[in-house]
Structure 1
Amino acid sequence: MKRTRTVRALSLACALLMSLMLAACAGSGASTAGDMPAVAPAVGGGALPEQGTTDGDGDAAMVIRTKTLRLEVGSTSEAVDEIRNLTRSHEGTVSNMQIASGDEWVYHYEEAGGDGTALRGWVTVRVPSDSYEEFVAEVAKLGTIRFQSESSDDVTQEHVDMTARLENLRAQEARLREFFEAAKDVEDMLSIEQELNRVRGEIESLDAQVKYLERQAAMSTVSVELVEPRDIVTPSGESWGFVDAITTGIRGAAQVLTVTLTVIIATAPIWALGLVAFFVVRAVIRRRRGVAAAGTSEAESEGSEPPGGGPVG
């Protein structure tokens, strides 16, 4: 009985090994240039980009395209509304939008920018790749182009390789299920089930990667930075900035005075001790000079008396 079970396990293992080898050969044959499968989007992935272009084998090319534009416009708020309308007309979506007045980005804005400061904005949209060129051309008409950049990432070969590997794994899964249904021994069923779980995990991971590539290639990303021209004078037109210059000068003088007072107060212990030492040294020097002057006067008075102590005849 034990020998029969061993023979059965070896036979099942050999059959499983041969199945895996045949599936691998089929997968490698499918990935060759002559038999390469056509690139098709996953369910819900949308149309592939670059529908009119093909690679060397006739398959549709998959290209992920990204565009960045900087436009100088008369009104940022009006330009944002126009970009929203264009995005809806091309069946796209706005993935990010920011409006700023000055240096801080805000999400809510007023028509005049609040304090009259020039507005700037940043809008990122996703549009179908088949209408990418038309959308960019229409957006460029909203203002003057100050900067633009574009990048393209061809993922055709990566998608083809992933698709071939996915088909190979699904073929292995189908073959393993056949072995599982034909298995009679519990130990064999557990081994096949473990292998099925591993293959199924790889299928789900690879399928998610393929769908992600298809979604990225089906929709192109366009980022538009909007800036307004800055006026030489204030929006009211009544001042050339003299008041601001005077205010800035007064603030600068106050800052210098503040720094000076800070330095004086901070170094007070040092110069206080210096003053005390100065007065002590000056008092000692004066005292010594007084003693020396008194001694000199006494010497001079003694030297002027006549011999014998009497008055000079």
Structure 2
Amino acid sequence: MNAPTLPSLSPDRMDAIETAVFGRIADERDRRRRRRRAVWTGVGAAAAVIVVAAVVGPSLSTTSGVSGSSTVAGAGDSAPEGGTIDQSAQGFAGSEAGSAPVAPGQSGAGARSDASSSTDASAREIVSTGSSTVAVDDIGTAIEAIGNAATAAGGYVESSQLGDGGVVMPLEGVSTGATLSSGWITVRVPADSLAAVMDGLGTVGEVTATSVTRSDVTDQAIDLRARVAAGEASVARLTELMAQAGSVSDLIAAETALADRQAQLDSDRQILQSLSSQVAMSTLSVQLTARTASVTADPAGFGDGLAAGWNGLVATLNGIVIGLGFLLPWVVVAGIAAAAVWGVRRVVRRRRAARQG
């Protein structure tokens, strides 16, 4: 039987066949290389997701735990009484600067300057406000001790709070012996006794923080006293005019003016009295926290180490699960985008191969 004879090939045809064969081999190598690259990329992405989940998970659980905790009211939550009075008095002084009585031939600025000079020679009027943080063994006992110290110094308890419930109660409502984690007390004491009372806090517990704020209100007090004097003189003059009124219209006008001046005088007296009270009686706010027991070192054995390792493993896995849950939406969106890009590139390759074929 005769063997089939193959047609002779021209050199150009042989070169074309060799080029096509080598091209297919190169394409196959490229496919394998892309497959290996895709596999390693997936492995690396999975490892990166796990690492990120392990890092992000604990922080997410910690953040959620912190956001769910309740806030404990402290001494800083109550605004000092002195700041409000100072601002009110200062604003009132600015609006009524021209109402102070001025001696003949002397300007208002000169009278205020002379008053300030005479005040500089005497004691300045200072509003003092103190605050401290004290770690104690028993919150109720500490509140009672601080209240007794303030009363002994000639002051009184303004407000106090036990626990985290936000309920303000008088000193009589304090129940010693209760296990509480925090509390605070605000007392008013004579200004010259503030330092002694604050020093005495060391006998109640461990003072961890303390501060004293002093505000000079001498100028506000001078302006208020000048307004009170001017108001009293004006009220006395209007009272005389009412007695000398010759008609009903004059009497009504004098009564109206007298009512306005009397209301302004009463307001100035009240502000001056409050300012003088703040100068004479300082405010002290004490934040009380439960003292934490010191932890003594205890050498652990194999069982303790195993338990600690297991707890650490569970905590890490929990963090990874939380992190995966956090990253899952991002991974899905990134996967969809990658699939779309891969599909477009595949269509482009097919069209390019069809054109070359």
TM-score interval (norm. to shorter): 0.5 to 0.7
Give the C-alpha shift of residue 250 in structure 1. Answer: 1.4
1:94 aligned residue: 158
* Residues 46-61 of structure 1 aligned to structure 2 (within 5 Å): 56=121
For 2:318, the aligned partner's letter is R
Distance 2:351 2:226 in 1: 104
Q: Which has the higher helix share?
A: 2
Q: How far has the Cα of 1:77 moved from its partner?
A: 4.4
Partner of 2:243: 181
Say if 1:92 and 1:127, in contact at 8 Å, map to a contact too: yes
Amino acid at match of 1:135: V
Are the counterparts in 2 of residues 70 and 148 from structure 1 also a CA contact under 8 Å? Answer: yes
Q: How big is each residue's C-alpha offset from its partner over 1:20-77, in whole Å with a ceiling of 9 and x where there is no partner?
A: xxx7549x9x9976xx9xxxxxxxxxxxxxxxxx9745xx764321112233334444
Letter in 2 for 1:139: L
Q: Which one of the candidate residues 198, 213, 218 is aligned to 2:280?
A: 218
Residue 24 of structure 1 contacts residue 168 of structure 1 at CA under 8 Å; is this kept in 2? no
AA aligned opposite 1:255: I
| Aligned-partner Cα distance in 1 for 2:345–2:235 | 99
Measured in 2, the distance between the counterparts of 1:148 and 1:155 equals 23
Establish whether residue 266 from structure 1 lines up as the match of residue 343 from structure 2.
no
Matched, 1:68 2:135: no
Q: Partner of 2:142: helix, strand, or coil? A: helix
Q: Classify 1:142/1:285 alpha carbon distance in 2 versus 1 (closer, same or farther; 3 Å).
A: same
Distance 1:112 1:191, change over 3 A: closer
Residues 1:254 and 2:317 aligned together: no
Q: Which ranges of structure 1 fall in alignment gaps of 5 or more residues?
A: 1-22, 37-53, 114-118, 293-313
CA contact (8 A) 1:64 1:217 kept: yes
In the alignment, structure 1 residue 153 sits paired with structure 2 residue 220: no
Q: 1:174 to 1:24 in 2, by over 3 A?
A: farther
- Give the residue type in structure 2 aligned to 1:148: T
CA separation in 2, counterparts of 1:193 and 1:214? 31
- Distance apart, 1:107 and its partner CA: 5.0
Task: Give, as a single letter, the amino acid of the residue that structure 2 aligns with 1:95.
Answer: S
1:204-229 C-alpha deviation (Å, 9 max, x unpaired):
22112111112212321112233434
- Structure 2 counterpart of 1:128, which letter? P
* 1:294-313 matched pairs, under 5 angstroms: none
Matched with 1:134 is: 196
Secondary structure at the aligned position of 1:184 is classed as coil
Paired residues of 1:65 and 1:217 also in contact (CA < 8 A): yes
1:123 equivalent in alignment to 2:185: yes
**Corresponding position of 1:163:** 225
Deviation at 1:178, TM superposition (A): 1.2
Question: What do you get for the CA RMSD once the two structures are aligned?
Answer: 4.6
Q: Distance in 2 between matches of 1:83 and 1:243?
A: 47
* CA distance in 2: counterparts of 1:286 and 1:74, whole angstroms: 83
- Are 1:196 and 2:255 matched, yes or no? no
Residue 246 of structure 2: SS of its match in structure 1? coil
C-alpha change, 1:265 and 1:233, in structure 2 (3 Å) is farther
SS for the counterpart of 1:207 is: helix
Task: Tell me the distance in 2 between the aligned counterparts of 1:271 and 1:170.
Answer: 86
Q: 1:276 to 1:163 in 2, by over 3 A?
A: closer
Question: Which blocks of at least 5 consecutive residues in structure 2 are unaligned?
Answer: 1-100, 169-174
88-97 or 172-181, which moves further after superposition?
88-97
Give, in whole Å, the separation in 2 of the partners of 1:24 and 1:278. 92
SS of residue matched to 1:226 = strand
Length-normalised TM-score, structure 1: 0.57
Whether contact under 8 Å (1:98, 1:107) holds in the other structure is yes
| Change beyond 3 A, Cα 1:80–1:87 | same
- Alignment partners' CA distance in 2, 1:160 and 1:283: 93
Identity level (%): 24
What is the CA–CA distance in structure 2 between the aligned matches of 1:211 and 1:128, rounded to whole Å? 15
Shift of 1:173: 1.2
The aligned residue for residue 80 of structure 1 is 143
Say which one has the larger Rg.
1
Q: Structure 1 residues 162, 244: CA separation in 2 closer, same or farther (over 3 Å shift)?
A: farther
Give the count of matched residue pairs.
238
Whether the aligned pair in 1 keeps the contact of 2:130 and 2:210 (CA below 8 Å) is yes
Provide the residue aligned with 2:27 in structure 1. none
| Paired amino acid for 2:159 | S
Q: CA contact under 8 A between 2:160 and 2:183: conserved in structure 1? A: no
User: In structure 2, which of residues 309, 312, 315 is the aligned counterpart of residue 245 of structure 1?
Assistant: 312
